[in-house]
Amino acid sequence: MILYNVTVKILNVAKDDWLKWMTEQHIPDVMDTGFFTEYKMTRILGEDESEGATYAIQYLCPSMEAFQEYQSTSAKALQAEHVERYKNKYVAFRTLMEVVTQGKAFSKT
């Protein structure tokens, strides 16, 4: 499994609109490409939020081949929408990770 992480710091003046757009439009558009099986959006805690908040959006992809196909067929257009809508109101970086192991908490009963 491949974990594609996009970390975004969005300025406070655009934060509410950005959150709404991400949850109602952008993330569904990414998921509708069919390359990802699930996603999670989190807010990073412990950061200075005087200018803006930082979020991490994590998408789970079944294989590197599927991720590469997403990159070649869909990513540029989706990223361009984000750039156009929030130009000069955010900074972002992307991280690609291989899931080595995952699990859930064990019950002690």
108 in any annotated domain: no
**CATH number of the domain that residue 86 is part of:** 3.30.70.100
Q: Which pLDDT score is estimated for 109?
A: 67
109 in any annotated domain: no
77 in any annotated domain: yes
State the residue range of the domain holding 81. 2-98
104 in any annotated domain: no
Distances in Å between the Cα of 102 and the Cα atoms of 23, 58, 91 are 25, 14, 29
Q: Which pLDDT score is estimated for 102?
A: 83
Q: Using alpha carbons, select from 60, 63, 74 the residue that is nearest to residue 30.
A: 74
φ/ψ (deg, to 5) at 107? -80, 135
Residue 102 neighbours by CB distance under 10 Å: 8
The tally of domains found in the chain comes to 1
Give pLDDT < 50 ranges for the chain.
Answer: none
